[in-house]
Amino acid sequence: MDPLIDAALRAREHAHAPFSKFKVGAALLGEDGQIYTGCNVENATYGLTVCAERVAVFKAVSEGARKFRRIVVAADTNVLTPPCGACRQILWEFCGDIEVILTNLQGKTESLRLKDLFPRPFDASFL
Ligand code: THU
């Protein structure tokens, strides 16, 4: 199996999702080959929940990584789970038009580009 997909599936097992029971894993591949994983971390306030994708991006950025090749998002859904709107904005900020691979527990996969998931983004070019 693709090690990045495997990493996302394994990260999903660490999800803290007692409220939604909806576990998500993410694995972000740095330019140098380093893999940064994330899972969703929920909170009793609900609103403070952080998605798997953002956990992976923030872990990577906090460790000094700035260039990325692709991200895998893993969830247990038949229709593959895409990143939420907030995560698309954060992915655009740090990864630009990255390849986004969606997968599920049955091994179904789909490869997308972030620019197609997130057309006409607001970013630093407007500031
Ligand atoms: N979630 C993610 O972690 N990533 C996604 O791509 C979709 C949603 C989480 C947030 C929350 O913990 C749960 O899934 C249900 O929305």
pLDDT (tens, 9 = 90+) of the chain, 127 residues, equals: 899 999 999 999 999 999 999 999 999 999 999 999 999 999 999 999 999 999 999 999 999 999 999 999 999 999 999 999 999 999 999 999 999 999 999 999 999 999 999 999 999 999 9
Does ligand 1 have an atom closer than 6 angstroms to the CB of 17? yes
Expressed in angstroms and rounded, the spacing between residue 30 Cα and the centre of ligand 1 is 22
pTM above 0.95, yes or no: yes
Atom 3 in ligand 1: which residue has the minimum CA distance?
51
The set of residues, in sequence order, having a beta carbon less than 8 Å from that of 50 and lying 6+ positions away, is 40, 41
Q: Which atom of ligand 1 is nearest to the CA of 39?
A: 3
Q: Is 83 in the pocket of ligand 1 (CB under 6 A)?
A: yes
99-103, strands of its sheet edge to edge: 35-39, 24-30, 68-75, 99-103, 109-113
Ligand 1 near 22 CB (within 6 A): yes
Looking at residue 1, what is its pLDDT?
87
Main-chain dihedrals φ then ψ at residue 111, nearest 5 degrees: -110, 130
